[in-house]
Amino acid sequence: MRVLEVDHPLVAHKLTVLRDRNTPSPVFRQLTEELVTLLAYEATREVRTEPVEIETPVTRTVGTAFTKPTPLVVPILRAGLGMLEGMTKLVPTAEVGFLGMARNEETLEAITYAERLPADLTGRQVFVLDPMLATGGTLREAVKFLFARGASDVTCICLLAAPEGLQALQSELAEANVTIVVASIDERLNEKAYIVPGLGDAGDRLYGVAG
């Protein structure tokens, strides 16, 4: 498992506005989209490509195309949905699958409540979108699920990660072909497993509190 914390002034600036409790939902959604596009640029560095012959107005030349099957993007519902637009802007030909996961707020265990993914992911490169890597439970289950279907490698794009969650993932996925791309590794988790300093509940900040 590899971890990449993206160090860029644009990322740091957008993240600062996201963290601010006074930032309203519409601005929060817009900034999340922009931030994900910046993270996606780094996260797609190893995307598989092949040479392709094309004709410019001037001559024939060899360019670059994604190999088939194209990458699969998997937002984790609900908060990962707020990251989808930022990712597909950069990789419009990617296929999109969905994984609905929630954590039991008492046991903090991740449960899968919905799934819409190809049955066979053999050889597929998968990009998972989940804004908050807190305890790591949700991502661990998602990554295991994707490898069980045959994915060749999984890249998780997150806004924030807690050191405790990264440590937990590392101890289970050390040898796995997994990359975590994150805008910031924060200080710690609090007693309710929220990331500190964090940005609060990402789903609520994106979509408001739905009962």
- Residues labelled catalytic: 103, 107, 201, 204
Pairing between strand 98-103 and 110-116? antiparallel
- Please indicate if the annotation marks 132 as binding a ligand: yes
Tell whether 186 is in a known binding site. Answer: no
Check: CB of residue 140 under 8 Å from CB of residue 110.
yes
Q: Which of 76, 110, 195, 206 binds ligand URA (CB under 6 A)?
A: 195
Residue 50 C-beta: closest distance to ligand URA, Å: 38
The yes or no reply on residue 202 touching ligand URA (CB under 6 A) is yes
Total interface residues for ligand URA by CB under 6 A: 8
The contacts of residue 190 (CB under 8 Å, 6+ apart) are: 196
With 0-12 / 13-18 / 19 or more C-beta atoms within 10 angstroms meaning exposed / middle / buried, residue 20 is exposed
3-state secondary structure 6-22: CCCHHHHHHHHHHHCCC
- Closest CB 72 distance from ligand URA, rounded Å: 24
- According to CB under 6 A, which one of 33, 153, 164, 201 is a site residue for ligand URA? 201
d(CA 175, CA 178): 8
Site string for ligand URA, 113-142 (x = CB under 6 A): -------------------x-x--------
Binding region: 78, 103, 130-138, 195, 200-202
